[in-house]
Amino acid sequence: TGEDLFGSVPGADYEIKPIYPLVKQLERQWPARVNEKELPTLLTSGMYNFISAVGSLATAITGLMTAYVISLAMSLYFIPSKSMEPNLKVGDVLLVEKVSSKLSGASLLKKGDVVLFPAPSRLQDVIVSSGGKRINDRDLFVKRIAATAGDVVQVEASGSVRINGDVAPGNRQMCDAEPLRLIEKYIESGETLVGEKDLFVMGDCSDVSVDSRVWGTLNRKVVVGRPLLRVWPLERFGGLPSLPDR
């Protein structure tokens, strides 16, 4: 027909010629005329479109599944409050791994680890009784593990904490103090034996942190993840600082 064709045209004759040089044994007079029936089976435009659609769909599904699997292992978290200052500041973005908290019943978690978790039911009760609204389970809290199974924790009315008779390790008085010390009216003073499946967690800034001193111990199973890196802002990019000594 003299036209450029894509697909199969039964009975058509084609003029073909190579676009690259051939070895001497394959050279002949070009172009060569070949009938449709002498050619290998060609894809019709419909078949090509179908295969392209299936390929695109498979690529999209693979991408979504990969993103989903990654999201199960890693995620980003935005620091919303001052409870972890000065080590973690409002606006910091953390890269959180969510695997270790799921292994062996979160037994890999240890003192000093920073953990993320949804609001425990006792904390929800405190919020509601204070006139607030219940917190969505997708809104996570971030605290540092201060005591683990078998530890005896003594919480004083002032908010200070002793673990197994000793003052809780680390300096939690480096942030700006809350002048009215409103946190003290929520603190539950007394002695607690941390259960086998529980954690006692505290914020790095004791004067403003609503933590286990208020709502009790945290079950290991509800821990969502453990931050690995601070990825934003860039000038503070790197690993999470540990709680400094007193």
**Interatomic CA distance for residues 97 and 77, integer angstroms:** 10
Distances (CA, A) of 242 to 13, 96, 182, 245: 78, 16, 26, 9
Nearest to 221 by CA among 109, 137, 122, 134: 109
Active site residue 83: yes
Let me know: does 226 contact 96? Beta carbons within 8 Å.
Answer: yes
Q: In the structure encoding, which two tokens stand for residue 116, read together?
A: 């993320």
- Of 75, 83, 160, 212, which is the active-site residue? 83
Let me know: does 96 contact 76? Beta carbons within 8 Å.
Answer: yes
The residue type at 239: G
Residues that are catalytic: 83
